Amino acid sequence: MLFNTLPFAYFFITVFAVSWLLSRFRMLRLLFLLAASYFFYAQWNPYYLSLIFISSTVDYWLGKKIAASDDPAARKRWLVGTVVVNLGFLGFFKYWNFGVGSVLAAAQLLGWHLQPAYVRVALPIGISFFTFESMSYVIDVYRRTTKPCDSYLKYLLFVAFFPHLVSGPIVRPRDLIPQFEAPPRFDEVEASRAMFLIANGLIKKVVISDYLSVNFVDRVFAQPSSYSALEVLFAIYGYAVQIYCDFSGYTDIAIGCAALLGVKFPINFNSPYKAVNVQDFWNRWHISLSTWLRDYLFHSLGGAFGSTARTVRNFLITMLLGGLWHGAAWTFVFWGLLHGVALAATFVYFSWQEQRGVRRRKRKIPFWRKAVGVFLTFHFVCLGWVFFRAESFTMAWAVLRRLATFTTYHPNLQLWVVVTLGVGLVSHYTPDKLFQSVRESFVRLPAVLQGASLFGVACLLYYAASAQSVPFVYFQF
């Protein structure tokens, strides 16, 4: 059940109406939202509901055990237990066949012949998201930064709450569970902002991302040798816009749907292509994941405390594993390595500046330097997207080799592709204040005009939609 389909619209309208009818009956409302969330996930594969239930149950009781114990060794054993359960599920379903294939390839290089041990299982939708969320709860309880949840029902709902279940944002327990404890309040202003956000997310997804994907980007990455260097460059730019509009569009819809149910989610994107360096990019892109990796992996390795060499090592390990989190392929690992090297280089550069006292002098950075930083960062990120998007290294090198021909003929660059790409980029670089001004203008409109505006968006989505609904990119992770 995709966010950009009519079945989801009918589902959400029903959930919205019933949940607010039950707003005075807190436990009944939570039970209903949990049932609705499980129903939502079951539309993909009902058998995999057991994974969410088992992971949630194990982590809830392990959190209780850890909180009640003062024995450091016992607490650590319970923590290892949650890591084994969650990463065990993730490893088996997502990485088993990848590991087997890698071992077989290495064995062939050494002249060995091993019997393959592949398993035929489908990847559970959203497994990378709900395992990280559930693990973060137990880790926080272990660190004593979060009190254990006092309600099994609330914890099950925290993990399974459908707006963030399959593609995030990765919500921390301390941010979400207390909201289930408080009585919900319907706010008309917040509801209007939520509807605006949902409409904005659907336009990003259907009008921009899907159009670029179906009509240009997928074709070029499937057979780059059939296109000129200029067309390949536009396809790379197109994928940068596509993946941003796709994933941030999903997040907009998720945040908006949650808000209509009286729940606030944290921001997950902040105009990432405005970043002046790679560190700034990761402060703006998929914020819930980058902060998760920072708090639970980078800091656990030692963070930026210690020698420069150890800090560089921590950046590389964190981003290598972050790349692998995105997908069971060496192209994702290489993408993570690229960003790890860039983050480490940025850290070394800033450390060198601090040693020289440059950063201590607060001075305004010239506009041209910011512009150069944004330009270089965007193109570095686009280089990484080539490996992220390509199905193999062979295809990635084919894209880059074609780019190196510097050919400029462009019969495949259709006007609407260029216009859509331009709209995506221009809207991204639009000042945040302008977006907020448009949103608040919508909020101040009378209900009738708000409805007319949303009807206009619905018409636009109807005419712009492709023949079949295109799944969200991050569903594969």
What tokens were used for 211? 């159009």
Residue 247 lies in a domain: yes
User: What's the number of domains the chain is made of?
Assistant: 2
pLDDT at site 18? 97
In this predicted structure, what is the pLDDT of residue 3? 87
Could you tell me if 234 and 333 lie in one domain? Answer: yes
236, 386 Cβ separation under 8 angstroms: yes
Number of other CB atoms surrounding residue 379 within 10 Å: 13
How confident is the model at residue 358, as a pLDDT? 61
Active-site option among 113, 286, 299, 326: 326
For the chain, 477 residues long, give each residue's pLDDT as a single digit of tens: 788 888 999 999 999 999 999 999 999 999 999 999 999 999 988 888 999 999 999 999 999 999 999 999 999 999 999 889 888 988 888 888 888 778 877 887 777 777 777 778 888 888 888 898 999 999 999 999 989 999 999 999 999 999 999 888 999 988 999 999 888 889 999 999 999 999 999 999 999 999 999 999 999 999 999 999 999 999 999 999 999 999 999 999 999 999 999 999 999 999 999 999 999 999 999 999 999 999 999 999 998 888 889 999 999 999 999 999 988 899 999 999 999 999 999 999 888 777 766 654 556 778 888 999 999 999 999 999 999 999 999 999 999 999 999 999 999 999 999 999 999 999 999 998 999 999 999 999 999 999 999 999 999 988 888 766 677 777 666
Residues 80 and 178 in one domain: yes
Same domain, 155 and 226: no
Q: Is residue 111 part of a domain?
A: no
470 within a domain of the structure (yes/no): no
CA distance 66 to 313: 31
For residue 361, the model assigns a pLDDT of 52
Same domain, 408 and 358: yes
Using DSSP's 3-state secondary structure scheme, residue 14 falls into: helix
Closest CA to 295 of 314, 273, 276, 312: 314
Among candidate residues 269, 264, 261, 325, the one with its CA nearest the CA of residue 293: 325
Q: How far apart are the first and last CA of the chain?
A: 16
To the query of whether residue 379 is one of the catalytic residues in this protein, the response is no
Q: Can the peptide bond before residue 163 be classed as cis, meaning omega within 30 degrees of 0?
A: no
Q: Tell me, yes or no, whether 281 lies in a domain.
A: yes
pLDDT score of 476: 67
* pLDDT at position 368: 86
Q: Is residue 103 part of a domain?
A: no
Question: Do 218 and 174 belong to one domain?
Answer: no
C-alpha closest to that of 240 among 376, 373, 336, 381: 381
**Which tokens sit at 298?**
């980078």
Can you give the pLDDT at residue 226?
94
**Residue 109: inside a domain, yes or no?**
no
In 3D, which of 166, 214, 210 has the Cα closest to residue 475? Answer: 166
Residue 430 lies in a domain: yes
What is the pTM assigned to this prediction?
0.93
Helix pair 393-403, 367-389: axis angle to 10 deg:
130
Residue 229 domain boundaries: 208-464
Same domain, 160 and 227: no
In a domain, residue 57? The reply is yes
